[in-house]
């Protein structure tokens, strides 16, 4: 590791590598941080086949969890936080999402800086019942006041937290990898022309077959 490198702990993901969402974001950022000379530790659940290992230069540490919708992410972060406090080997702790921000204060209390990255105004999501929405509304407070710093992936989130709590929230949008240009040969075989068609996919939100 480079002399100026830090040891960064990410709390927490379902597994690495399993694709999409926070997991893919952590993987992409972690790989880049390793290339810049930092040491990266990613805490993950054992429920998705992930094991303790080194993956693309990142150290994967798995912890037990309660595999239910309400407690899965919280239990991963709880056990990951206990491990961070036990080992005391991280220079900075990065906590994903608003609910787990509850645990961001504990590394900070022992002198380890923490940052919470928000990925949405989570209490507004339909998947949560009354208890879940209430907990996440209360967690808005912990997301901005428990860590040393808070970031948001959208300007809407940044504005929401700053106006509600009168605090400063960093805006760091999620990036994408550059896609190599390819000639549109395959679509031409279908009788289509570049930039002159629309591709639609039936999604989970369509209860019946589309009529178009």
Range of 57's domain?
Answer: 7-179
- What are the backbone angles phi and psi of residue 210, rounded to the nearest 5°? -65, 150
Instruction: Specify if 205 maps to a domain.
Output: no
Q: How many domains does the chain have?
A: 1
Question: DSSP assignment of 10-54, as one string?
Answer: EEEES-TT--THHHHHHHHHHHHHHHTT-EEEEEEESTTS--SEE
Whole-angstrom distance, CA of residue 87 vs CA of residue 65: 19
Q: How many CA atoms lie within 13 A of 190 on its CB side?
A: 10
> Residue 78's domain is classified under what CATH number?
3.40.50.2000
Read off the pLDDT of residues 168-199 as tens digits, 9 standing for 90 and up: 999 999 888 888 888 888 888 888 887 888 87
Instruction: Specify if 201 maps to a domain.
Output: no
Instruction: Specify if 208 maps to a domain.
Output: no
pLDDT in tens, the chain (212 residues): 445 689 999 998 888 888 778 899 999 999 999 999 999 999 999 888 788 999 999 999 999 988 887 788 899 999 999 999 999 999 999 999 998 999 999 999 999 999 999 988 878 777 778 888 888 888 889 999 999 999 999 999 999 999 999 999 999 998 888 888 888 888 888 888 878 888 776 655 444 444 43
Instruction: Specify if 120 maps to a domain.
Output: yes
Instruction: Specify if 204 maps to a domain.
Output: no
């Amino acid at each position: 590791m480079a002399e100026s490198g830090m040891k960064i702990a990410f709390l927490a993901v379902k597994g690495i590598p399993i694709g999409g969402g926070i997991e893919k974001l952590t993987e992409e950022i972690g790989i880049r941080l390793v290339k810049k000379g930092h040491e990266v530790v990613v805490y993950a659940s054992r429920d998705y086949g992930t094991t303790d290992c080194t993956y693309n230069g990142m150290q994967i540490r798995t912890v037990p969890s309660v595999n239910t919708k309400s407690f899965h992410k919280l239990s991963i972060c709880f056990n990951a936080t206990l491990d961070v406090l036990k080992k005391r080997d991280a220079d900075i702790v990065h906590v994903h999402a608003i609910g787990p921000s509850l645990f961001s204060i504990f590394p900070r209390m022992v002198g380890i800086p923490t940052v919470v990255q928000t990925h949405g105004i989570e209490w507004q999501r339909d998947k949560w019942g009354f208890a879940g929405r209430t907990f996440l509304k209360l967690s808005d407070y912990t997301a901005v006041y428990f860590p040393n710093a808070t970031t948001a992936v959208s300007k809407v989130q940044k504005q929401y937290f700053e106006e509600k709590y009168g605090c400063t929230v960093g805006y760091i949008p999620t990036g994408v990898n550059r896609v190599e240009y390819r000639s549109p040969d395959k679509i031409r075989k279908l009788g289509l022309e570049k930039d002159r068609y629309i591709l639609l996919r039936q999604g989970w939100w369509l209860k019946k077959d589309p009529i178009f």
